[in-house]
Structure 1
Amino acid sequence: MKIIVTGGAGFIGSHIVDAYVKAGHRVAVIDNLSTGFRKNLNPRAKFYKADIQNAPLIERVFKKERPEIVNHHAAIASVIQSVRNPLAVYGANVMGTASILTALVRYGRGTRKKIIFASSGGTLYGDSPEKIPADERLPMRPISPYGISKLLGEELIAHYSGAHHFSHLIFRYANVYGPRQNPKGEAGVVAIFGGLMRKGKTPVIFGDGTKTRDYAFVDDVARANLAALRRGTNVTLNIGLGKEMSDRKIFDTVAKYAHFSGKPKFAPERPGEIYRIALDAKKAKKILGWRPRTLLDEGIKRTVASL
């Protein structure tokens, strides 16, 4: 298949590109390198340095590549940044998504055109949803501009795919972690904690350490995206372990593998962050045959070793 991966120089996107290339697909990457890195690029994939908000440039890339599949991972993926600068997040995550969809409508090829979209199970279900693990049927109640931008992205995709007769698959991820995650970024607590601990510095936990998140190892996420090439039509799927893990437990597990003996610093909660979440991924198992293979302890061990 001919596939375009947006955000393919980033943490998650680059692992997906690797999986696609290894499976024999022809892949082109679009990335503006604002958070991605050239070192993450697969040498067997074409690369276009472009911002997804630059609609004329995106259309030229699509016209040249004529993809059958678009895997759309390019985004500003920080809750904190979205609170600070919501307009930038809406521009990248909403208008950028509209740009990609418009180009797919005009220049996508084949009768099986499809978009695979990275959404956010960690933000869309809101603060402490009524059912945990949360399944895809729960109402969406995002409390941050980032979560709202992903909800709007999902709505755009449903509209475009219905109006223009192509298929879509939306992934609502838990907190994705693993090798290549930026330890100096604002998102990705495992890499941030590990990067600081490896330097002998003390990480900060925002709140009292009892906030919970669900997690997904990046290799497992890449496998889900590989399965999505041939399975799953017009569906939304959670991807995660289905278990709540507190910030303090993450700190302690990272510390074990980083050989760090210090105690965490604590700071006030940050706006836009939810208190509890875990995701029910049974639907992904049913439709894709997917299940997580990497338990959290092993995944953290591998992540810390990569830093």
Structure 2
Amino acid sequence: MKVLVTGGAGFIGSHVVDLLIENGYEVVIVDNLSTGKEEFINKKAIFIKKDIIDEDLCEIFEKEKPDYVIHQAAQIDVQKSIDNSVFDAKGNVLGTVNLLECCRKSGVKKIVYASSAAVYGNPEYLPIDEKHKVNPISYYGISKHTAEHYFEVYRQLYGLKYTILRYANVYGIRQDPKGEGGVISIFTDKMLKGERPIIFGDGNQTRDFVYVKDVVKANLLALERGDNEVVNISTNKPTSINELVEMMNKIMNTSLEPVYTEPRKGDIVHSYLDNKKALEVLGWKPEYSLEEGLKETIEYYRVKYVEDEVAVGKKG
């Protein structure tokens, strides 16, 4: 079986590729390397540098003939979407439609789509289940949800199966703190350098932090399960940003006090997702606690930080 992974050189996508290859799949990576990194590309995969918005994308499908597609490529920065809504929509909506056309034309059996908790907007109740009203408050949330409608209509018109995975806040190894990094990678980068983490707001806002290794397992399960379903991928546990800093200080054996600043536009105060449906339709549940995931992540960055320092020293 051959799987084409968009964004396969990125944070989550590269982990998806690694696990696919471990499980015996042939893998084709399509990534424009705007945020992905060549160092993350699995050498056993076929890599094609290409933007999903490009008109000749379907030529790759004609040549490689993938059975499945896992669609991870996206503009994922909420603040960037607010600053440049056109750029956000081009990648997340038009790029996805272009991809779906290629799937239709080449006879792809199924596509797994990385959506987001951002589609829900401000929650009317917690935890947020898949039946919760969709009311995004950022252009990113709008673009991710708009794309979801296309999957359903492509199924109705052409029989293209899909599973939509709405991720909570994914964190872990390979997340770029200097790009579109999540709060954990940004905090880790700062705190390993002895710098105080910056919190937007009072730090009492809560998030549902799910480890990347758990997320990629959900993607593999979705290849064969959960046809035409929308599924939350989450821990079903809220953690405040203040609690997060406290936990990270404990793991790092530091006592860095956060710096508090003004809340950001488009940020939701409280959010965590119900994950019961993931167990029901995918047979998936998270295996990592936040503490376990943080320990692995921090150790990865600690080693990388030392390696980078050594590399800089050699250049000097």
- With the shorter chain as reference, the TM-score category is over 0.9
SS class of match (1:216): strand
In the superposition, the TM-score normalised over structure 1's length comes to 0.96
Residue 168 of structure 2 is matched in structure 1 by: 174
Q: Where does residue 224 of structure 1 map in the other structure? A: 218
The equivalent position to 2:120 in structure 1, one of 99, 102, 125, is 125
State the distance in 2 between where 1:17 and 1:55 align.
24
Query: How far is 1:258 from its partner?
Result: 2.8
Q: Does 1:193 align with 2:192?
A: no
Q: CA deviation at 1:6?
A: 0.2
Matched, 1:24 2:24: yes
Greater CA drift, 182-191 or 45-54 = 182-191
User: Which among 214, 237, 242 is matched to residue 208 of structure 2?
Assistant: 214
The residue number in structure 2 matching 1:70 is: 69
**What is the total number of aligned residue pairs between the two structures?**
301
Offset, 1:299: 0.6
Match of 2:313 in 1: none
Helix, strand or coil at the partner of 1:116: strand
| More deviation, 158-167/290-299 | 158-167
* Partner SS state of residue 87, structure 2: helix
Alpha-carbon contact 1:198-1:260 (below 8 Å) kept: no
Which structure 1 segments of 5+ residues have no match?
none
Paired letter, 1:36: G
Question: Shift of the alpha carbon at 1:260?
Answer: 2.8
Aligned residue type for 1:180: R
Q: What per-residue deviation string (whole Å, max 9, x for no partner) do you get for residues 61-105 of structure 1?
A: 111111111100000111111111111110100000011001111
Correspondence for 2:111? 115
Q: Secondary structure at the match of 1:55?
A: coil
Aligned to 2:152: 158
Q: CA deviation at 1:285?
A: 0.2
**Offset from partner CA, 1:90-146 (integer Å, 9 cap, x none):** 01000000110011111134xxx101000002x11111x122111000110100000
The aligned residue for residue 308 of structure 2 is none
User: Percent of aligned positions with the same letter in both sequences?
Assistant: 45
Contact kept? 1:77, 1:187, Cα under 8 Å: no
- The CA RMSD measured in Å over matched residues stands at 1.0
Does residue 258 in structure 1 map to residue 264 in structure 2? Answer: no
Residue in 2 aligned with 1:44?
Answer: 44
Evaluate the alpha carbon distance shift between residue 240 and residue 154 of structure 1 in structure 2; reply closer, same or farther with a 3 A threshold.
Answer: same
The alpha carbon displacement at 1:226 in A equals 1.0
**1:13 matches 2:8:** no
Q: Distance in 1 between matches of 2:285 and 2:35?
A: 28
Is 1:105 aligned with 2:101? no
Contact 2:6 2:13 in 1 (8 A): yes
Shift of 1:186: 3.5
TM-score normalized by the length of structure 2: 0.93
Q: How far apart, CA to CA, are the structure 2 residues paired with 1:209 and 1:278?
A: 16
Q: Which stretch of the first structure deviates more once superposed, 247-256 or 131-140? A: 247-256
List runs of 5+ in structure 2 lacking aligned partners.
302-316
Verify: 1:242 aligned to 2:241, yes or no. no
For residues 55 and 234 of structure 2, what CA distance do their matches in structure 1 show? 33
